Chains A and B, each alone.
Chain A
Amino acid sequence: MFCLGIESTAHTFACSVVQYSFYQNRLIGKILSDARDIYVPPTGSGIHPRDASRHHCKAVETVFKHALCSAKVSMRDIDVIAYSAGPGLGPCLRVGAVVARTLSAFHSKPLVPTNHGIGHVELGIMISRAKDPLVLLVSGGHTAILAFSGKRWRIFGETLDITLGQLFDQFGRSLGLPSPCGHEIEQLGRKAAGNYRLLPYVVKGNDVSFSGLLTSAIRSVHNKSKELSLGEISFSLQETSFAMVTEAVERALSLTLKNEFLIVGGVAANNRLAEMLKEACKRQKCKFYRCPAELAGDNGAQIAWAGILEYVGKGRHVQVEKAFINQSWRINDVEVIRN
């Protein structure tokens, strides 16, 4: 059986076909295709929702076709359609929703609205085969520590203001780097590795706060003397923010006593963060899992897989006219059936 997943919450418009079946009473999935087109805002500016949505509209035809062709399926073979219903930017969400609804109505296929954050989490679990991990979701849209209990992914810690992805993006934009900036900052920082400068480190229990750190880092760039290079500030920014997140994770591990840990979301691709978390897991005697870099960023497969779990696990799907979008759909508001 096949599921078509459509992702369009922010920068990325993506489609993917995931094949699913039962094996020994368990649902298993296989990613057959992964097509994406990413909107890049003008250098120095953040994502403008309407511009991004225009980009997505132009990309729909190619990405959709590519997803079906690479998977060697046609709409006739698709059994269910899943789309990212939130959280995200309204104009962007509407693009994916319209595509999904139209396909569902025209081809009479069941339609499943899925939560983008849950997509990251469940895809990570599917690939890593972790059974009951503590999960760190770090991306442009999320920075949250989650654990599953009582039918929900519950939040054990999160950011009190901006996300890790936003921290790097906004810092990078102030340097005139093109968004998304995470990778560039990682490279800059690597060149200056070892030269650390104390920046605001704010952990509040299991939560973190990055706004003070961002302000201080940007101020350091404007005030920098010859001795303090961009590389050093980038390095310090990374070290500080990653240490904060790692500490919050350690606290959550100690609280929940989970013996598995999984990192998902776009920032999971950062090697330094993964290195720090691995070290923390060693101390807490916990297995470390990480979503592979190529599937860490927003993609259609996460939506397809989350949709499959909804549809097969709960038989849940919606009428096209009721296929909603929700810009601020919280991950802990969703009732989930675990595999």
Chain B
Amino acid sequence: MSSIRKTTPEISIKLQLSFEKKKQLYALLKSLKPDNIDFPSGLSMEMLTDYDNTLVIKLSSKGGFGKIINTVDEILEHISIGVNVIANA
């Protein structure tokens, strides 16, 4: 029986979030930064802002699906709670 070599595709995800106010955008960006450390190998992330109050998050994974899914999941959750608390304050 021939051995089947498992090949996982290289995955890239781009998240784009448009905020109403720059103040909101920068508050979120600052709050996410401290946790952008100790990424598992094969996973990388970049966060940038765009001119028109857009937060762009680029992730790429060479190490399979699990880690990138968890990371995106957590980031979106964090953004949602950040947005919630400043919307209600």
Contacts and interface: CB of A to CB of B under 8 A. Distances in A.
Contacts of A60: 81, 84-85
A75 interface: yes
Contacts of A57: 77-78, 80-81
Contacts of B30: 101-102, 105, 320-321
Interface string B64-89: 00000010001001101110111011
A61 B23 CA distance: 20
B47 to A, nearest CB: 12
A279 B31 CA distance: 49
Contact of B33 (A65, A94, A321): A321
A74 B88 CA distance: 10
A98 B32 contact: yes
Most buried by B among A97, A98, A325: A98
Contact of B77 (A54, A105, A321): A54
A38 B88 CA distance: 22
Contacts of B85: 60-61, 64, 99, 102-103
B78 A106 contact: no
Interface string A316-335: 00001111110000000000
Most buried by A among B24, B33, B70, B78: B78
A102 B27 CA distance: 5
Q: Mostly helix, strand, loop or mixed at chain B's interface? A: helix
Interface in B22-50: 23-24, 26-28, 30-35
A50 interface: yes
Contacts of A74: 89
Contacts of B82: 98-99, 101-102
Nearest to B26: A105
A276 to B, nearest CB: 42
Interface residues of B, number: 23
Contacts of B32: 98
Contact of B28 (A61, A75, A95, A102): A102
Contacts of B88: 61, 64-65
A102 B86 contact: yes
A183 interface: no
Interface of A: 50, 53-54, 57, 60-61, 64-65, 68, 74-75, 91, 94-95, 97-99, 101-103, 105-107, 320-325
21 contacts: A57-B77, A57-B81, A60-B84, A61-B88, A94-B74, A95-B78, A97-B35, A101-B30, A102-B30, A102-B85, A103-B89, A105-B27, A105-B30, A106-B24, A106-B89, A107-B89, A320-B33, A320-B34, A321-B33, A324-B34, A325-B35
